[in-house]
C-alpha cells in the first residue's frame, strides 16, 4: 500500500511516499527556516504564503522520486493539527483537491501521532505497550501507547515545551534560531558548570521548563555566566536530565516493553545518548531527519489509520489545537 504523506503544520512544506507504513520511497522537505530566522521565530502569515508556493512542487518531487503516479497511489495522509491554522489549511486543501480529482481515499493525521510513527519507518517490530516521549517546539508529552492509535496521555508540560525552552534559551544567549541545534552546537565546546534548577514535579508525569529558562535569564542579566558555551551545555544538561529521568520512571511504572522518542528535540545527541544508556527498557529513536517535521512520518501513521478503516471525507477540517487523546 503506497501512501502520499502531506505535512504543512508549521514551517516545513513536506511530502513523502511510504510503502506499507515502513518503507520510505521518497521524503521531500522544503524548509522555510532561513526566511523565519530573520525574525527570530515563525511568522504565521509568511509561513502560509510559503506553503502555497511550495506545496505543488514538493508533492511532484516526492511522487517522481518514488516513481508513483496518481493511479498507483493507495491513499493520502495529511496533517490536520495541531499547528498553525493557516499553514495546516494549505496541506489539507491540497490533499482534498487531489482526493476529489483522483478519487484517492484520504485520512487526517494528528501531527503528534505522526511524530510517534517516525519510529515505525524501517522498523516492523515494536512491542506494545510503549511509552513515548514527544518533544517538539509546541509539546512535551509523555504518552502510554497500548496499541496502534490507542493513547493515554500520562503527562505534559505545564508551561514551555522542551523545544520552546531551547529556542528561548538560545535567544537569551544570543545564539540564533532555531534554538535547539544552536544550543547543541554551542554546548560541544562548553562544560555544564552553571548550576540550574530542575523541576521534578514529584508524583506527576508533567514537565515544567519555564523555571530553568528564567534562572538562565537572571544569571545572564546579572553577568554571572562564565561563557555562552558553558551556559548552553548546562541548559542542555538540565533539560535532558529531566526528560530522561521522567521518561524512564513512567516506563517502569507502566511496565512497558518499549520506549519511543519522537519530535524535533529527539534529534538532540545528548538526549539520544542519555536515554539509551539510562534506560533498562529498549529505546527506539528515529534518525534525526525523521525526528524533525517531515511527511514520511505522516504517511507511516496514515497507513495504520487506513488499516483501521479510519478515513476522512471531503469535509475534513483542520484543528489548530488538536489533542492526541
| Grid coordinates belonging to 164 | 520552546
- Interaction residues for ligand KG4, span 254-273 (CB under 6 A): 263-265, 267-268
Q: Alpha-carbon distance 43 to 9, whole Å?
A: 13
Which of ligand KG4, Zn ion, none is residue 184 near (CB under 5 to 8 Å by kind)? ligand KG4
5 binds, among Zn ion, ligand KG4, none (CB under 5 to 8 A by kind): none
Q: Which stretch binds Zn ion (CB under 5 A): 94-102, 117-125, 291-299, 317-325?
A: 291-299
Tell me 84's DSSP state. -
138 binds ligand KG4 (CB under 6 A): yes
Angle at 246 between CA 290 and CA 119, to 5 degrees: 20
Q: Should residue 114 be labelled a site residue for ligand KG4 when binding is judged by CB under 6 A? A: no
Among 117, 151, 166, 303, binds ligand KG4 (CB under 6 A): 166
Q: What is the arrangement of strands in the sheet containing 130-135, beginning at the earlier edge strand?
A: 150-156, 140-147, 130-135, 258-262, 283-284
- By CB under 6 A, what part of segment 287-316 binds ligand KG4? 292-293
Strand partners, 242: none
Across 2-124, the runs of DSSP E, i.e. the strands, are 2-7, 12-19, 23-31, 75-81, 106-110
Pick what 166 binds: Zn ion, ligand KG4, none; C-beta below 5 to 8 Å, kind-dependent: ligand KG4
Return the residues of window 126-165 that contact Zn ion according to CB under 5 A: 136
Q: How far apart are CA 184 and CA 182, in angstroms?
A: 5
Shortest Cβ 102–ligand KG4 spacing (Å): 29
3-state class of 41 per DSSP? Answer: coil
Q: Which is nearer to ligand KG4, 113 or 184 (CB)?
A: 184
Binding-site partner at residue 21 among Zn ion, ligand KG4, none, CB < 5 to 8 Å by type: none
CA distances from 9 to 12, 58, 75, 144, 318 (A): 8, 15, 19, 24, 10
- Residue 13 within binding range of ligand KG4, rule CB under 6 A: no
Cα four-point dihedral sign 161, 215, 197, 173 = positive
From CA 130, how far away is CA 123, in angstroms rounded? Answer: 15
Stretch that binds ligand KG4, among 95-103, 172-180, 210-218, 243-251 (CB under 6 A): 172-180
Minimum separation from the CB atom of position 321 to ligand KG4 (A): 14
Nearer to ligand KG4 (CB atom), residue 230 or residue 293: 293
Which spans of this chain sit near Zn ion (rule: CB under 5 A)? Answer: 136, 293
**Interface contacts to ligand KG4, rule CB under 6 A:** 10, 136-138, 163-164, 166-167, 178-181, 184, 263-265, 267-268, 292-293
Amino acid at each position: 500500500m503506497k501512501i502520499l504523506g502531506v505535512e504543512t503544520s508549521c514551517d516545513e512544506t513536506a511530502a513523502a511516499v511510504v510503502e506499507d507504513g515502513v518503507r520510505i520511497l521518497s521524503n521531500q522537505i522544503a524548509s522555510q527556516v532561513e526566511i523565519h530566522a530573520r525574525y527570530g521565530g515563525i511568522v504565521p502569515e509568511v509561513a502560509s504564503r510559503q506553503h502555497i508556493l511550495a506545496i505543488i512542487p514538493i508533492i511532484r518531487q516526492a511522487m517522481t522520486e518514488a516513481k508513483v503516479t496518481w493511479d498507483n497511489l493507495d491513499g493520502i495522509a495529511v496533517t490536520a493539527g495541531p499547528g498553525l491554522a493557516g499553514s495546516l489549511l494549505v496541506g489539507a486543501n491540497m490533499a482534498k483537491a487531489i482526493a476529489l480529482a483522483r478519487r484517492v481515499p484520504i485520512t487526517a493525521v494528528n501531527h503528534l501521532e505522526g511524530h510517534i510513527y517516525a519510529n515505525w519507518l524501517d522498523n516492523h517490530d515494536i512491542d506494545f505497550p510503549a511509552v513515548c516521549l514527544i518533544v517538539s517546539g509546541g509539546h512535551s508529552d509523555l504518552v502510554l501507547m497500548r496499541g496502534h492509535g490507542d493513547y493515554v496521555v500520562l503527562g505534559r508540560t505545564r508551561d514551555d515545551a522542551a523545544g520552546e525552552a531551547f529556542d528561548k534559551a538560545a535567544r537569551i544567549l544570543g545564539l540564533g534560531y532555531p534554538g535547539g541545534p544552536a544550543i547543541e552546537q554551542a554546548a560541544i565546546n562548553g562544560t555544564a558548570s552553571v548550576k540550574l534548577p530542575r523541576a521534578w514535579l514529584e508524583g506527576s508525569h508533567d514537565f515544567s521548563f519555564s523555571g530553568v529558562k528564567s534562572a538562565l535569564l537572571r544569571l545572564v542579566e546579572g553577568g554571572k555566566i562564565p561563557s555562552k558555551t558553558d551556559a548552553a551545555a548546562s541548559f542542555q544538561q538540565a533539560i535532558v536530565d529531566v526528560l530522561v529521568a521522567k521518561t524512564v520512571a513512567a516506563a517502569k511504572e507502566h511496565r512497558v516493553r518499549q520506549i519511543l522518542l519522537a519530535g524535533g528535540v529527539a534529534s538532540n545527541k545528548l538526549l539520544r545518548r542519555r536515554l539509551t544508556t539510562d534506560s533498562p527498557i529498549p529505546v527506539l529513536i528515529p534518525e534525526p531527519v525523521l525526528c524533525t517535521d517531515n511527511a514520511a512520518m505522516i504517511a507511516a501513521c496514515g497507513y495504520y489509520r487506513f488499516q483501521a478503516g479510519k478515513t476522512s471525507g471531503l469535509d475534513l477540517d483542520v484543528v489548530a489545537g488538536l489533542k492526541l487523546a
